[in-house]
Amino acid sequence: MKTPEKNAPLKQNLQAHYETQCLSEHQLEKLQNLATDNTVDKNTSNNKSTMRSLLAVAASALLAISIYVVNFTGLNYGDISKEIAYNHNSQMQMEVFSESIDDIQSHLNRLGFSLIESAFLTGDDWEFVGGRYCSISGKIAAQLQIKNLDTSKIYTYYQAKLPDQFFNLIQDKEVSVDGVKVKMWQENGLLMGLAK
Amino acid sequence: MFNFFRPAKKIDFSKMLLNDLYRYALSLCQQSDQAYDLVQSSCEKALKQGTEQDKLKPFMMTCIRNEYFDLFRRAKLSLVIDEKLQDEQLVNEQHVIQQLDSIMINKQHVSLVLKTLSIDERELLFLWAVEGFSMQEIALQTNIARGTLLSRLSRLKKRLQNDFPHLVREVS
């Protein structure tokens, strides 16, 4: 740096005077770090806000699913169990009498699904009596009569095709409607009901 | 949330910029600690504002100026002189600048002279001598009428010659 002469124009000496005034390295570093910290803070804050948004979206999705499950699976239990209890109390005449599920199936050939032997009602303890068409929630269903061989009690047993949207959403449920105990469960894509 | 998709503006405070700002702050307050605080505050404001890099210096200079004058006004009730009343006589810019350029001063006496000047005068000299601003640019930066600035310089020159005849000389 050129040192100004002792007597120099005011402008020149003012420049020289201010040129000697500098921030220390430590001060410069501190000020420059403000920009770095600010970028890091912004990124962190962006990450945090994204995280918060994702959590909010996840919570909303969970809430929506819960509402969907409660409304679409829960409410049908009430309606279906009422229909099952009503059919059970009506004691309607069976259209076909047979101990064989195949015979009942061949008679009820407009069901649109195959009747199954439930894993919960094993062959040794239970025996089919007969069957007829009925409807559950406006859908065609099979109303079967089944006898418990131990107690000789007759139960009304229902099988209906489960709508796709309820697949794996129906949980086992047991309710009591008009003095009738109704047990419902899902098996092989069918909605099963047992009234006693 | 949308800020996430918006890239953060990268602001770079170069050493040269920071030192220029520090000198400007120093021209106002004449205290190194306060000058540093003013620069730091202007850095924070620039970051908060997301100021574009090419507009950084004028923006930060304005921040420093505003903050200092706010502090100064709070700290001290100063006598306000309506300089417009004193500017009846139109001053020629070239003439005033020539007069200033003709002033010779000893390097060692610069800081002594600066201490006797008002904030406005120090700022004016800094922007003219160090930043190399024209009177029009200084008027824009300080929001003071160009005529007022010229009058101020003219009076300043006279005062320097009167107050420091042994320190300041005029060359013909």
Residue A116 falls within a domain, yes or no? yes
Residue A126 falls within a domain, yes or no? yes
Average pLDDT for A62-82: 69
Same domain for A38 and A92: no
Cβ-Cβ contacts under 8 Å, B43 against chain A: 31, 34-35
Cβ-Cβ contacts under 8 Å, B36 against chain A: 23, 27
Cβ of residue A43 closer than 8 Å to a chain B Cβ: yes
Residue linked to tokens 């139960």: A155
Chain A closest-CA separation from residue B76 CA (Å): 26
Residue A1 falls within a domain, yes or no? no
Instruction: Look at residue B38 in the predicted model and tell me its pLDDT.
Output: 94
| Domain end among A51, A71, A91 | A71
Which residue type occupies B163? D
Q: Is the pLDDT of residue A168 over 60?
A: no
Lowest-confidence range among A3-7, A52-56, A64-68, A189-193? A3-7
| Mean pLDDT of the residues in chain A | 80
Closest by Cβ to A14, choosing from B22, B43, B110: B110
Same domain for A114 and A176: yes
* Contact assignment for B103 to A23 by CB distance below 8 Å: no
Could you tell me the residue range of the domain that residue A52 belongs to?
Answer: 10-71
Same domain for A84 and A50: no
| Mean pLDDT of the residues in chain B | 82
Cβ-Cβ contacts under 8 Å, A41 against chain B: none
A189 backbone φψ class: left, alpha, beta (φ>0; ψ -120 to 50)? left
Same domain for A90 and A19: no
Q: Which residues of B touch A (CB under 8 A)?
A: 1, 3-4, 8, 10-13, 15, 18-19, 22-23, 26-27, 32, 36, 39-40, 43-44, 47, 100-108, 110-111, 114, 125-126, 128-130, 168-169
Q: What is the pLDDT of residues B61-92, one digit of tens each?
A: 999 999 998 887 666 555 555 555 554 445 67
Which residue type occupies B113? V
Closest by CA position to A80, among listed A196, A187, A195:
A195
Q: Is the pLDDT of residue A88 over 70?
A: yes
**Distance between CA A191 and CA B95 in Å, rounded?**
103
* Contact assignment for A14 to B129 by CB distance below 8 Å: yes
Residue A2 falls within a domain, yes or no? no
SS3 state of residue A143? strand
User: What ranges in chain A are assigned the alpha helix state H?
Assistant: 10-19, 25-69, 75-90, 101-107
Closest by Cβ to B44, choosing from A9, A34, A39: A34
The dihedral through the CA atoms of B115, B119, B123, B125 has a sign that is negative
Same domain for A124 and A67: no
Instruction: Look at residue A127 in the predicted model and tell me its pLDDT.
Output: 85
Same domain for A147 and A103: yes
For chain A, the domain total comes to 2
**Distance between CA A92 and CA B40 in Å, rounded?**
90
List, as own/partner pairs, every contact residues B33-39 make where C-beta atoms lie below 8 angstroms and the sequence separation is at least 24, other chains included.
B36/A23, B36/A27, B38/B64, B38/B67, B38/B68, B39/A23, B39/A31, B39/B64
Same domain for A187 and A112: yes
SS3 state of residue A181? strand
Residue A179 falls within a domain, yes or no? yes
Same domain for A186 and A105: yes
Average pLDDT for A74-93: 76
R_g (Cα) of chain B, nearest Å: 18
Residue A47 falls within a domain, yes or no? yes
Same domain for A59 and A20: yes
Instruction: Look at residue B1 in the predicted model and tell me its pLDDT.
Output: 45
Chain A closest-CA separation from residue B108 CA (Å): 8
Single pTM value for the model: 0.53
Same domain for A41 and A24: yes
Residue A56 falls within a domain, yes or no? yes
pLDDT band at B19 (very low <50, low <70, confident <90, very high): very high
Cβ-Cβ contacts under 8 Å, A1 against chain B: none
Cβ of residue A106 closer than 8 Å to a chain B Cβ: no
* Contact assignment for A31 to B11 by CB distance below 8 Å: no
Same domain for A121 and A87: yes
Q: Is the pLDDT of residue A57 over 90?
A: no
Closest by CA position to A17, among listed B37, B83, B117:
B117
Same domain for A130 and A46: no
Instruction: Look at residue B4 in the predicted model and tell me its pLDDT.
Output: 45
Cβ of residue A16 closer than 8 Å to a chain B Cβ: yes
* Contact assignment for A8 to B11 by CB distance below 8 Å: no
Which residue type occupies A170? I
Cβ-Cβ contacts under 8 Å, B104 against chain A: 7-10
Residue A105 falls within a domain, yes or no? yes
**Angle at which helices B15-29 and B119-129 pack, to 10 degrees?**
150
| Domain end among A20, A47, A71 | A71
| Domain end among A20, A43, A71 | A71
Strand partners, A128: A146
Average pLDDT for B110-122: 89
Closest by Cβ to B4, choosing from A4, A39, A46: A46
Task: List the single residue in A with minimal CA-CA distance to B18.
Answer: A28
Q: Is the pLDDT of residue A4 over 50?
A: no
